Amino acid sequence: MSAVAVIVATPLIGAAVLALVPGHRLGARLNIGFSTVTLLASLVLFGLEPSSGALFVVDAFNIYLIALTAFVGLTTSVFSASYIAHEIAVGKLDERKLRFYHAMYQAFMFTMLLALSANNLGVMWVAVEGATLTTVLMVSLYRTAASIEAAWKYFILCGVGIALALFGTILMYMAAQPVMGPGMAAMTWTELMDHVAKISPAILNLAFVFLLIGYGTKVGLAPLHAWLPDAHAEGPTPISAVLSGLLLNVALYAVLRFKMLLAANGQAIAPGPLMIAMGLASLLLAGLMLYRRRDVKRFFAYSSIEHMGIITFAFGMGGPLANFAGLLHMAMHSLTKSAIFYAVGHAVQVTGTQRMDRISGLTVSHPALGWGLLAGVVAIAGLPPFGVFMSEFLLVTSTFAREPLLALPLVVGILVAFGALVLRVQQLCFGAPGGVEGGGASVEPVPVQGTLVPLYAHLALVLVAGVWLPGPLVAWFQTVAALLG
Amino acid sequence: MSDLGYDAAHMLGAVVLLMSFALLYQRRLFSLLNVFTMQALALTATAAWQAYSHGEPHLYITALLTLVLKAILIPVALHRIVVKMKIHRTIEPALGIGLTMVAGVSLVTLSILLVLPVTADATALTRENLALSLSVVLLGLLMMISRRNAVSQVVGFMSIENGLILAAVGVAGMPLVVEMSVAFSVMVAFIIFGIFLFHIRERFDTLDMQKIESFRGESD
Amino acid sequence: MTLLLATLHQILQMLLVLTLAPLLTGWVRLVKARLVGRRGPSVLQPYRDLLRLLRKEVVLARNASWLFRSVPYMMFTAIWLAAGLVPVFTTQLALAPTADLIALIALLGSARFFLALAGMDTGTSFGGIGSSREMMIAALAEPAMLMIVFSVAILVRSTSLAEIADFMMSGAVGLRISLALALIALVMVAIAENARIPIDNPATHLELTMVHEAMVLEYSGRHLALVEAASMLKLLLYMALIACVFAPWGMATAGSGVAAALGGMVVFVAKLAVGGTLLALFETSIAKMRVFRVGEFLGGALLLSLLGAIFLYVSRGV
Amino acid sequence: MGLVVSAIAFLFAVAVAGAVARRLPQAPTVVYGGTAGACALIALWAAVRLAGGGPDAALVLPVGLPWIQAHLRADALSAVFLMVVNIGGITASLFGWGYERAHHDRHGGSHGGSHGGTQDGPVLPLYPLFLAGMNMVLIAADAFTFLLSWEFMSLASWLLVLSTHREPETPKAARLYIIMASFGTACLLLAFGVLATAHGDYSFAAIRAHAPAAGAAALVVVLILLGAGSKAGLVPLHVWLPLAHPAAPSHVSALMSGVMTKVAVYAMIRVLFDLLGEPEWWWGGVTMGFGALTAVMGVLYALMQDDVKRLLAYSTVENIGAIVIALGLALVFKAAHTPVIAALALAAALLHVVNHSLFKSLLFFAAGAMLTATGSRDLNRLGGLIHRMPTTAVLALIGAAAISALPPLNGFVGEWLLFQAILNAPALSAWSLKIEIAVVGAALALATALAGACFVRLYGIAFLGRPRSRAAGEAVEVGRAMRLGMAVPAVLCVVLGVLPTPLIRLFEPALRLLVEAGPFDGRAYQPWFWLAPTSAIGNSYNGLIMLVVIALLSVVLVLGIHRKASDRVRWSIPWGCGFDGPDPAAVTQYTASSFGQPIRRAFGSTVFRARDHVDMPAPGDTRPARLSVTWTDPAWVVVVEPPARAVGWLAEKANRLQFMTIRRYLTLMFLALVVLLVMVAVTQR
């Protein structure tokens, strides 16, 4: 349990320290340092037995998400260090804002790790709300009209969402209280899982609807997704990376915890159809929205919606294969999408524009970056040998074997999105090198010295996962898949 | 539980719901704020009553918070914003008042329909409480979408929160109510702060949300 | 022993077709001339023409390649071999199991393929006209031909010409509508393949209507002699083919002696005479059609042959 | 098996080496040499495996799906295709080595921009990966490994196509290609979903163990035809093929057209004959129908092309049609329990697979040689190359003759076997099938004849006549490596045409595996130089004797003629209607478009909406008349445009969601909530 405490406390301390540290270089280094400690602590979890206490729980479900979050938190902090150095150099950010940014970064990591490891519905809700607030602040970091507008939209929509999620949480307690008596027990995951079979299903149903809509807003499910593309597009790119790579997962994790309760209850409505419907809606809508995008970050934000749709669909289908696929897809999407955002952030700095029609030929002008971006998009598009292929393989085959009619919209959606991804990635990565006024490297005002290590580290992991999964991970996935019903 | 406790809680809850309807009905900003203050007062009374009748002292803190923030500070702050920023004093409805009322009634009906099957082992209080708070939440949401004015949207948002607190205080032994309501209040504060902030920066001329969103991402 | 005999037959046949081919052409020309009231040249005139061409010098286009010069030999060999494969006087031929009807059609196809290439080698417009039209005709004639083969093969249960002839002679066939259709189609194909009226006119040099002659326009001397001889051989081949499939009577079969073989030769000459006369009659009584009607004509042949194959299932129930 | 896997691993190593050292001058030698070596190893292994028999080689690697692992297995069928793929790989490597060097010399390694030949993308690291992917497909023995390899193959080839990404046409072609490839993969995914059932039995052994129900099997058949068919180029899913294949560098085009399409054929055979168990009679009927349509349409498209490589790509479509016809026949006969005939048809299919891989590689190499020599692949800018590039001309002539099914080359043998199978239609009982086979036979014959026309046109325009551009007039013969790369398949074309029986003998284990019979079953005596399959109808063929007789007759003829005839030769200018200057533009010779005109008139005007436009100068005007042709691919109108338009329309509609006010977004959220609540309220009743 102490390991979890370290994991959660480190970023909290980090936030406090970084709020006081002047100088962006030191701040960035400390940021990396705190993230490293968090990651190391989370790796310790692998050696420990699953455990649960009043405050924290570590089980097969969240252990890999905690490690994943810590890992992406670290790589993003590395990316962020090189990213902000350039932003400082071109004068888009200043020292004061960066101090705030680093503090918020750690605070954000804290809220997410807390949400993942909390054993209490209320604590989790508070953590998710905190995550919303910190990211709202970071999205508006540039203080441009567009970024404030995006932050405002994000804030209002997710504020309402989070309010509905709170109502769902209260309802959940209301449902459990008659069975489990008043007090903390009725708000504790592990206790609830033990007693949920006796809970009356009627309030449970109601609670789930509110939780699905509430946390679903944060997952970015259609038609609740409107905040997501703008928030991704207008904030600093490292934040886009963690939003897509981590925050969406955390919100989905919350939904899935409740789905587990419903599955264990047995009498409640099947949450599957609701999730399938919202998943498909997200997939199809996002797939179509990809076609008309001009802003590269917004484009990949829609791709995140698409993938969240696929994952939600997978959990909606249920069953060992689809659930396994969903869990794998969560991890793969998280790694891949953050890798893509690293590459995109770099490309945007190199070319000086976020408009896709002004970026081209990256594989020629910046081979390492261009091929990295290409590999990322190839991975997210579900092409082998990357991990997303495995999850989509499992999902499509198992769905078609069970519900052929549901597999068709799924496949259509994936293909529609695929078409858009190919269209754009070819344009970004191939052809004559473009950039600011098509000049390429010569007009670059400030040379960009970004690190591509995080990008390739993520890609390497996704590649390995595409052909080989470690045994313990498989075992965890299978345990959770069974629990998810 | 005594009949009196039940009746009083029921009545106070009903007042909160009534105020929600009243909020929907308002056409002028100042009266809207006044009605909201009254809803907050009713909620304060509910929380205090529940604290007393269930013997849960932490609910007194909730009551106090509600009283200070919702019944005093926020209405005053909003009042000042309206005056200072010369916001139009009438509310532009996106949906006609009549239609809004019809929608509100339907929502309440829906809430009752949803709550009806909750019988098995829930106490009557939970059922009534559930129906009332569900209605208040839904009406708050309706308020947010049927008004164009930013202040009334803030009010709608807070009335959702009132519904949440109504639900939370009504169920016996709910832990973390205070923590969560504090966390929520931070959010509300954020919104109000945001309105101030944007105005000070003069990025938007008005708080009408349609104008705020003139940029809308990719409209170039 | 049988193999030796078969080889002997084979060599005899090769020589026979080579000898008879110009005679057939001469005969057709003579009959045609007589039909329109002219006296016409001697039946032996084609032999004289060929010999004269052989003695003449070769005039080559400046950019003609080795292909142009070797094509006459290639196509002549291919057609000669093909003609050697059709049983004319006996079914006991050494090469019979080597190549069946399909191979025979393909051999003719090879000859045409190379001739068409040669037509394009000199880089003049006439060669191109001829080659492109020839290939268009072939594109329709060849499938029609194959469908005829199918009808016959399904009936006889073999694509070997020798076996087909044996089977037809045995009289087990009877009169069949599909055979009649196949015969009509085969005649149509034969007319097209041999550049006869109404598809083409072997005697014309009017550029708008030329097909075959345009293709070989640049040939001269011994090359032209070979090309001409190959055309004559081809005409004979088709007549022999029709005779072999639809009127194989009089041919020597397995076990029959030398007399039968000799008789077969006499009968074959008679068949050629009749066939040549019919061809001349047909050609004098019909006008040449426009080049672009050819597609319809041969499309008709293809459909007829396909119908023949389908009728076969109906009538025979196989 | 270890050998094959090591060779594939070696290919990956070569790819890495190519990626790391691609700027070094030795890099092409290392990559192409290494690839050729690995391919040779695998091909040899496969040949030995087929000749020597023995049990299937199998291996389970602890990768892939965790609870299945990666099953690898090379049975006889895999071995046949391993041979095809790797022989193609060897020749392509040989040619590619020369090609790369030629282009390196020409452009000096810079991004020079001549038409059709610039490679900006890295070919070196991707080329071995492409071959590795194809090999992996062939030895995969579970659905996951299979599809992973399959899609990996698509990915590698997509990137190879993109290696010419500066060409204006390439991006569109590449995009269409990868989208169609993914469509195909999606269909295969669904098919394997049905086969593996909801329990997730993804290994081929498990799939074989439980045959799917009739309805499910029907679904699988349709999905396989769509999935593998889109890769192979079945009409109307072929639309990407003539765009993508030519866009790649020529040796890669050769691999894509000659070899990758065969991997798709392998997929069809694997599923239809092996995994699905006993076939139903209609499967073959449907397959055959698609094959016939593909064969005829493919060659008609080819006849209208002016771009050499695109023409070849369309011709690939035609040949795939022929192969699929053979597969359909084999299915039909298998379902009718006449295994020997099924074996005959399947042998024809496999033989044609081998043949096509050889002559199509050869012809693509020739196209690459022309491209290297002239910088153009437009037929109307070529001509007269037989004088400038004598070796290429001879080798290309062999390829053109072989693909036109002329005896005694290998193309004819395949065609002949296929017709033998078609002639066995009376053995069937279903009426509809008999008639269909007759029609299919006619279509096949038509396609074959048209192919002849098509290649007369290609060869005649490109190699014969007079140069149509300055570049064509100044072309020089390509280097030795490229010529050798062409010579190997050319020699194989001749050898296999003359002696096909040993090769068909090699197929026998695969045929026994799939249809439980061999094509020579029941024949007591079967010499190795004689081709006489067992069949109710039909005959024998002997290419060797044909060749000998032709040679003999030729010798006799030449000797005879030269003894009699005069040897005098005079060179002269042919009559060109007065236009005989050296200017290529003023030459009156036929163009590619004018050559195709008669056939276009006969076939194209209705199907392709082909229209000729003649620009005829007024009398007295000396400028040349011009003939231009416009045509539409009907498959394009059916397959590509409607979905593209639908997606575009929907995207436009959906795009409004990006530009709404927050209040409206909240309304959406509210409505979603209310809808879900109503659903709960209703379901609880």
* Chain D residues in contact with C6 (beta carbon < 8 A): none
Whole-angstrom distance, CA of residue B29 vs CA of residue B40: 17
A306, with CB counted inside 10 A (0-12, 13-18, 19+), is buried
Pairing of strands A57-58, A51-52: antiparallel
CB-based contact (8 Å) between D682 and chain C?
A: no
Q: Which H helix or E strand runs over B156?
A: helix B150-170
Tell me the pLDDT band of D287, cut-offs 50, 70 and 90. very high
C-beta separation of D377 from D367 below 8 A: yes
The torsion region of residue D526 among left (phi > 0), alpha (psi -120 to 50) and beta comes to beta
pLDDT at A446: 58
Closest CA to A189 of A52, A3, A50: A52
| Tens digits of residue pLDDT in D544-579 | 888 999 999 999 999 988 887 777 888 887 776 666
Q: Is the peptide bond before C198 cis (omega within 30 degrees of 0)?
A: yes
Q: What average pLDDT does range D223-229 have in this prediction? A: 95
Q: Which H helix or E strand runs over A104?
A: helix A95-117
Residue B205 has pLDDT above 50, yes or no: no
CB-based contact (8 Å) between A399 and chain B?
A: no
CB contact under 8 A, B118 and A230: no
What are φ and ψ of residue B218, in 5° steps?
-115, 35
CB-based contact (8 Å) between D222 and chain A?
A: no
CB contact under 8 A, D674 and B107: yes
Scan residues 418-437 of D and list those with Cβ closer than 8 Å to C.
419-420, 422-423, 425-426, 431, 434-435
Nearest chain A residue to D190 by CA distance is: A397
| Tens digits of residue pLDDT in C284-310 | 888 888 777 888 888 889 899 888 888
Closest CA to D298 of D124, D448, D117: D448
Q: Which two tokens stand for residue D410?
A: 């290998």
Flag whether A touches D (3+ CB pairs, 8 A cutoff). yes
Nearest to A177 among B172, B180, B220 (CB): B172
CB-based contact (8 Å) between D386 and chain C?
A: yes
pLDDT at D538: 63
Nearest chain B residue to A187 by CA distance is: B175
Whole-angstrom distance, CA of residue A482 vs CA of residue A260: 10
CB contact under 8 A, A157 and D665: yes
CB-based contact (8 Å) between D546 and chain C?
A: yes
Share of chain D above pLDDT 90, in %: 58
CB-based contact (8 Å) between D15 and chain A?
A: no
Domain boundaries, chain A: 1-119, 149-269, 284-485
Q: By three-state DSSP, how is residue A94 classified?
A: coil
Say how many CA atoms lie within 13 Å of C103 toward its Cβ. Answer: 33
Closest CA to A360 of A272, A436, A433: A433
CB contact under 8 A, C302 and D442: yes
C neighbours by CB contacts (3+ pairs under 8 Å): D
Closest approach of chain D CAs to the CA of C37, in angstroms? 36
Nearest to D182 among A401, A407, A415 (CB): A415
Residue B211 has pLDDT above 70, yes or no: no
Whole-angstrom distance, CA of residue A33 vs CA of residue A26: 10
Closest approach of chain D CAs to the CA of B114, in angstroms? 5
Nearest to D666 among B113, B144, B210 (CB): B144
**Contacting residues for D391 by C-beta, under 8 A, at least 6 apart:** D477, D483, D486, D487
Closest CA to D185 of D137, D139, D218: D137
Whole-angstrom distance, CA of residue A134 vs CA of residue D182: 40
Q: Which H helix or E strand runs over A339?
A: helix A319-351
| Tens digits of residue pLDDT in C110-155 | 999 999 999 998 888 888 888 988 898 888 898 999 888 888 888 8
Closest CA to C105 of C237, C243, C299, C276: C237
Q: Which two tokens stand for residue C93?
A: 């031929």
Query: Best residue in D403, D404, D456 to probe C by mutation, most C CBs within 10 Å?
Result: D456
CB-based contact (8 Å) between D162 and chain A?
A: yes
The helix/strand count (H/E) of chain A reads as 20, 2
Closest CA to A15 of A3, A27, A1: A27
C-beta separation of D121 from A363 below 8 A: yes
C-beta separation of D589 from C124 below 8 A: yes
Whole-angstrom distance, CA of residue D625 vs CA of residue D623: 7
A neighbours by CB contacts (3+ pairs under 8 Å): B, D
* Chain A residues in contact with B213 (beta carbon < 8 A): 149, 153
Distance of CA C177 to the CA centre of its chain: 24
Q: What average pLDDT does range B93-112 have in this prediction? A: 88
CB-based contact (8 Å) between D646 and chain A?
A: no
Whole-angstrom distance, CA of residue A65 vs CA of residue A54: 20
Share of chain B above pLDDT 70, in %: 83
* Chain D residues in contact with B94 (beta carbon < 8 A): 663
Dihedral sign computed on CA atoms, order C161, C167, C170, C172? negative
Q: What average pLDDT does range C204-231 have in this prediction? A: 84
C-alpha distances (whole Å) from A351 to each of A48, A89, A361, A431, A432 are: 47, 15, 11, 15, 13
**Contacting residues for A51 by C-beta, under 8 A, at least 6 apart:** A1, A57, A58
Q: Which two tokens stand for residue C188?
A: 């149509």
Nearest chain C residue to D468 by CA distance is: C123
D neighbours by CB contacts (3+ pairs under 8 Å): A, B, C
The 3-class secondary structure across A176-196, one letter per residue, is HHHHHCCCHHHHEHHHHHHHH
Nearest chain D residue to C60 by CA distance is: D571
CB-based contact (8 Å) between A118 and chain B?
A: no
For helices B58-65 and B150-170, angle between their N-to-C axes, nearest 10 degrees: 170
Nearest chain D residue to B142 by CA distance is: D670
Pairing of strands C58-61, D569-572: parallel
CB-based contact (8 Å) between D683 and chain B?
A: no
Residue B1 has pLDDT above 60, yes or no: no
Flag whether D touches C (3+ CB pairs, 8 A cutoff). yes
CB contact under 8 A, B194 and A155: yes
* Chain A residues in contact with B171 (beta carbon < 8 A): 170, 173-174, 177
Mean pLDDT of chain C: 87
Nearest to D658 among B145, B212, B218 (CB): B218
| Tens digits of residue pLDDT in D499-548 | 999 999 999 999 999 998 888 887 766 777 788 887 776 678 888 888 99
Whole-angstrom distance, CA of residue D80 vs CA of residue A481: 42
Query: Best residue in D662, D668, D679 to probe B by mutation, most B CBs within 10 Å?
Result: D662
Flag whether B touches A (3+ CB pairs, 8 A cutoff). yes
C-beta separation of A7 from A39 below 8 A: no
CB contact under 8 A, D542 and C98: yes
pLDDT at A168: 93
* Chain D residues in contact with A466 (beta carbon < 8 A): 148
Closest CA to A208 of D77, D103, D676: D676
Scan residues 289-328 of A and list those with Cβ closer than 8 Å to B.
293-295, 298
Closest CA to A279 of A260, A251, A250, A307: A307
* Chain A residues in contact with B141 (beta carbon < 8 A): 160
Q: Could you tell me how many CB contacts below 8 A there are between chain A and chain B?
A: 127
> Which residue is it, tokens 């394997």?
D192
Residue C317 has pLDDT above 60, yes or no: no
| Tens digits of residue pLDDT in A192-219 | 988 888 888 888 888 999 999 999 999 9
* Chain D residues in contact with C98 (beta carbon < 8 A): 540-542, 545-546, 549
Closest approach of chain B CAs to the CA of A208, in angstroms? 13
| Tens digits of residue pLDDT in A220-278 | 998 999 999 999 998 899 999 999 999 999 999 999 999 999 888 888 888 888 999 99
DSSP secondary structure letters along C44-104: THHHHHHHHHHHSPEEEETT--HHHHHHHHHHHHHHHHHHHHS-SSBS--TTTTT--HHHH
Q: Could you tell me how many CB contacts below 8 A there are between chain C and chain D?
A: 276
Nearest chain A residue to D154 by CA distance is: A383
CB-based contact (8 Å) between D672 and chain A?
A: yes
Q: How many domains does chain C have?
A: 1
* Chain A residues in contact with D146 (beta carbon < 8 A): none
Residue B122 has pLDDT above 70, yes or no: no
Stretches in chain A below the pLDDT threshold 50: 436-444
CB contact under 8 A, C136 and D569: no
Angle, CA D648 vertex, CA D647 and CA D651 arms, to 5°: 80
Closest CA to A213 of D659, D242, C296, D677: D677
Q: What pTM value is reported for the model?
A: 0.93
